Amino acid sequence: MDRRQFLIFSALGGLALALPLARDAAAIPNTPSLSIVLDDAGADSHDLANLEQLVEMKFPATIAVIPRTTHEEAVLKTLSKAPYLDIFAHIPMEFEKMRNSDPKKDHSSWLEQTPRKVGEKYNPVQHAAIYAFDTPAIAVKILADDITHLNNILTQYGKKSIVGFNNHTGSLVTQDTEKMFALATYAKTHGLIIVDSKTTLPERPSVLFREAKRVGATAYERTVFLDLDVDPVKQLQTCYSILEKGKSVIAIGHIKEPATITALAQAQKTHGQYIRKISEI
Ligand SMILES: [Zn+2]
C-alpha cells in the first residue's frame, strides 16, 4: 500500500473498504477467453467428418477423445496433423444410477464398450473407465493407461500428444475426494491440464476442480454446455454475455453434433478474437 492508498484506506474506514476492492480487481482477468472443448470424439461415425470441418476452419478448440472407441484411431490421425487443436483424453467415469435393480435400466454400455460388473477386475487391454468401486490407486492407473494408449496411437502419426483430460459422465466418481485428489496429483506431476466437466447435480457436486486447485494443477471448470438438450446458438449467446462481463468461459459441446460445428463457424466470425484452445489460456 502506497501513501495515497493509505490515506484513502484510513479516511474511508480501513479494512472493510480495502478487501472488496482487492477482490474485484482479481476477479477480472486481463484478457477474457472463450475455450471450446468438444467431447466424445471416437465414439460416433459422424466424428471424423465434423472434425475435418474444424480442421478446415482452423478453429482453435480442444478435442476430447474417449480411449478404446471404434473411431479413435481415425480421429487421432486427423488430430495429429491439426496444429490449431489440442487433444484431451476424455476419461469415462461411473455416473449415478448407472446400475439399476431393473436390468433393462443398466446403462453401463454408455460408459465404455466392455463395461465392468461391480467388483470386476480392471484389464487395461479391454477397459478405459473408472468405477466407484475402484481404489484411488487403480483410478490413477486407469488414467495413466488411457493417456498412454492414446499417446501410443498419436506417436505413429507425428509429434502431438495428450495435453490434459476431462471426465466423460462421472457424476458418481467425481464426488469422491480421495479419487479426485489422486487424479489431480497425477496431473500435477505429469503437467496435464484438467477440465472438470461438472456433470453433477449442485447438491452432490464434483470435487475434481477443487482437488486440482488444492494440489496446484492447471485446472478449469466447465461454465456452459453447448448442445445435446440445448441450442448451441443460444448457448453461445450466454458465452458472449459472460465475456462482456470480462470473465473467461469454458464451453463443452460434442464433436458428433453438426449444429454445434455450424454454430462455432459463426462464433469464429463474430468472436474469433476471444477463442483460444485450452493450452493457450
Ligand atoms: Zn462425454
Contact 164, 191 (CB under 8 A): no
DSSP 216: T
CA 129 to ligand 1 center in whole angstroms: 12
Cα 121 to middle of ligand 1, angstroms:
23
Cα(229) to ligand 1 centroid in Å equals: 14
Residue spans of the domains in the chain: they are: 1-29, 31-280
Q: What is the pLDDT of residue 31?
A: 85
What lies within 8 Å, CB to CB, of 61 at 6+ separation is 35, 36, 37, 38, 54, 84, 85, 86, 264, 275, 277
Evaluate whether 219 touches 184 at the Cβ level (below 8 Å).
yes
HSE-CB at 27 with a 13 A cutoff on CA atoms is 9
Q: How far is the CA of 271 from the centre of ligand 1 (A)?
A: 25
Distance 40 CA to ligand 1 centre (A): 5
Q: What is the fold, at CATH topology level, of the domain defined by 31-280?
A: TIM Barrel (3.20.20)
6 CA to centre of ligand 1 in angstroms: 51
Predicted confidence pLDDT, tens digits, the chain (281 residues):
444 444 434 443 333 333 333 334 444 446 899 999 999 999 999 999 999 999 999 999 999 999 999 999 999 999 999 999 999 999 999 999 998 878 778 888 889 989 999 999 999 999 999 999 999 999 999 999 999 999 999 999 999 999 999 999 999 999 999 999 999 999 999 999 999 999 998 999 999 999 999 999 999 999 999 999 999 999 999 999 999 999 999 999 999 999 999 999 999 999 999 999 999 99
What does the pLDDT read at residue 52? 97
Taking the model in full, what pTM does it have?
0.88
